[in-house]
């Protein structure tokens, strides 16, 4: 029988980052030794506290539905951790826990957008933003940044219309690894207030910032708390991507709207994962610091290998665990990534997936050994093409 699919799902693009990972895994299953630098997740175990908490939760039969927005102790722990990290104070009614920050973002766009409403999406962008906006009937409006791949008010101004509802800020950024400074965020904050729109601050990589730079939340800038929605997650911070815990922090009215949607769709995120996230957030954060140090060392190793390559260029990767580079040899990023995978057995993600043709994303969330080997293969490949 020929099943008619909805136009909505026909129009939805498949996730290019997941597709790149899948191709690498298929080759690995055929016995090919692939160096997989397409991964978007830490290669570390979850914190021991989280593991122990989940085992205890299973033993204690913590297996019933919970409040759709997440258990109170977890929402309290999210508020406490955010207060310790940024000084900003939120109440538990301003928190909604979801199945990963992907789910939080989905809820948000569904709750915020009416048909034709526009969302400013700085380029390069995390691959799911535009599709989620479109699923909610909204229109993603792509805003190219400068050579540093960051947007400034003058870039945003060109794309602002009376339909603009919000701007997405993702710093540290996936895929570019760039981190906005406080001054850059202040400039954006003034512009946003002048226009009367909201900011969605996707803080997935908040804890992975290197060297002397530190995390600045746009929500903490004057006048911004009421117009910022924070999207956070246990996924990257605690190497718990598969446990699926993310959260919303912001306006209570919007929190209620997202919770209503969750009541009528997924209900609560997994009860066991909530206990794990509670333990991770309440722990000593040592595993986060260890990961941060390891990522910084790996990034430095990679830069040592790639800096000398003629023609390569990239914005300085100050955070997250990605390097986003271009080179004259990369004309069609999908074609380049596919040839590089076949010929050098290294998997990268084409820049096209993030709205920037001519670029490739490399994840350094792999061991130093794999990274050094892959980096050398890349340097050699680029030098001969």
Ligand X SMILES: Cc1ncc(COP(=O)(O)O)c(C=O)c1O
Binding site for ligand X (CB under 6 A): 40, 100-102, 126, 170, 174, 202, 204, 233, 235, 241, 246
Q: Which two tokens stand for residue 331?
A: 């004309």
For 193, the 3-state DSSP assignment is helix
Task: Rank residues 100 and 250 by Cβ distance to ligand X and give the closer one.
Answer: 100
Could you tell me the smallest distance in angstroms from the CB atom of residue 127 to ligand X? 8
Residue 94 or 171 with smaller CB distance to ligand X: 171
Q: How far is the CB of 268 from ligand X (least distance, A)?
A: 16
Q: Which is nearer to ligand X, 42 or 138 (CB)?
A: 42
Measured CA to CA, the distance from residue 66 to residue 60 in angstroms comes to 14
Rounded distance between C-alpha atoms, residue 252 and residue 88, angstroms: 15
Residue nearer to ligand X on the CB measure, 269 or 375: 269
Who contacts 95 (Cβ-Cβ below 8 Å, separation ≥6)?
A: 69, 70, 75, 78, 79, 247, 248, 249, 255
Between 217 and 235, CB nearer to ligand X: 235
Q: How far apart are CA 49 and CA 354, in angstroms?
A: 35
Instruction: Give 309-345 as a DSSP string.
Output: STT-B-----BTTEEEEE-TT-SSHHHHHHHHHHHH-
Tokens of 355: 């709205």
CB of 308 to ligand X, least distance (A): 29
The tokens for 153 are: 């008010």
As measured in angstroms, the least distance from the Cβ of 92 to ligand X is 20
Closest approach of ligand X to the CB of residue 361, in Å:
10
Nearer to ligand X, 223 or 242 (CB): 242
Maximum CA extent, the chain: 60
CB of 201 to ligand X, least distance (A): 11
Tokens of 362: 């490399």
Q: Which two tokens stand for residue 250?
A: 């912001």
CB of 206 to ligand X, least distance (A): 10
Q: How far is the CB of 31 from ligand X (least distance, A)?
A: 28
Q: Considering the complex, state which of residue 192 and residue 234 has its C-beta at the smaller distance from ligand X.
A: 234
- CA trace torsion 306, 312, 316, 317 (10° rounding): -60
Residue nearest to ligand X (CB): 100
Closest by Cα among 148, 222, 157, 214 to 186: 222
Residue closer to ligand X by CB (options 103, 327) is 103
Number of residues that make up the chain: 385
Kindly state the smallest distance separating residue 376's Cβ from ligand X, in Å: 26
With tokens 């300085």, the residue in question is: 316
Helix (H) / strand (E) element for 142: namely: strand 139-144
Return the number of the residue (66 or 174) whose C-beta is nearest ligand X: 174
Asked whether the beta carbons of 360 and 328 are under 8 A apart, the reply is no
């Amino acid at each position: 029988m020929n099943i008619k699919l909805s136009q909505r799902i026909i129009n939805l693009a498949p996730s290019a980052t997941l597709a790149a990972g899948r191709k690498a895994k298929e080759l690995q299953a055929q016995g090919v030794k692939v160096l997989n630098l397409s991964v978007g997740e830490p290669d570390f175990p979850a914190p021991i506290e989280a593991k122990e908490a989940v085992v205890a939760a299973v033993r204690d039969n913590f297996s019933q539905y919970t409040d759709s927005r997440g258990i109170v102790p977890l929402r309290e722990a999210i508020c406490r951790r955010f207060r310790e990290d940024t000084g900003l104070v939120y109440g538990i009614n301003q928190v909604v826990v979801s199945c990963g920050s992907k789910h939080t973002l989905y809820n948000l766009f569904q709750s915020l957008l009416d048909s034709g409403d526009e969302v400013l999406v700085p380029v390069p962008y995390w691959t799911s933003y535009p599709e989620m906006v479109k699923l909610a009937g909204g229109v993603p409006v792509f805003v190219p940044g400068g050579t540093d791949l960051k947007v400034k008010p003058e870039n945003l101004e060109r794309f602002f219309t009376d339909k603009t509802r919000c701007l997405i800020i993702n710093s540290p950024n996936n895929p570019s690894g760039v981190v906005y400074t406080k001054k850059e965020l202040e400039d954006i904050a003034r512009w946003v207030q002048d226009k009367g729109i909201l900011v969605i601050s996707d803080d997935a990589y908040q804890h992975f910032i290197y060297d002397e730079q530190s995390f600045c939340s746009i929500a903490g800038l004057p006048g911004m708390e009421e117009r910022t929605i924070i999207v956070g997650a246990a996924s990257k911070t605690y190497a718990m991507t598969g446990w699926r815990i993310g959260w919303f922090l912001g306006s209570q009215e919007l929190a209620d709207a997202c919770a209503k949607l969750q009541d009528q769709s997924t209900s609560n995120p997994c009860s066991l994962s909530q206990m794990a996230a509670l333990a991770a957030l309440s722990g000593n954060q040592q595993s986060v610091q260890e990961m941060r140090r390891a990522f910084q060392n790996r990034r430095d190793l990679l830069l040592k290998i790639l800096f000398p390559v003629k023609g390569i260029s990239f914005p300085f990767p100050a955070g997250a665990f990605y390097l986003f580079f271009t080179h004259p040899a990369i004309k069609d990023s999908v074609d380049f990534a596919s040839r590089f995978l076949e010929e050098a057995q290294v998997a990268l993600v084409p820049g096209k997936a993030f709205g920037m043709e001519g670029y490739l994303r490399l994840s350094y969330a792999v061991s130093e050994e794999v990274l050094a080997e892959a980096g050398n293969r890349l340097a050699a490949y680029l030098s001969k093409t």
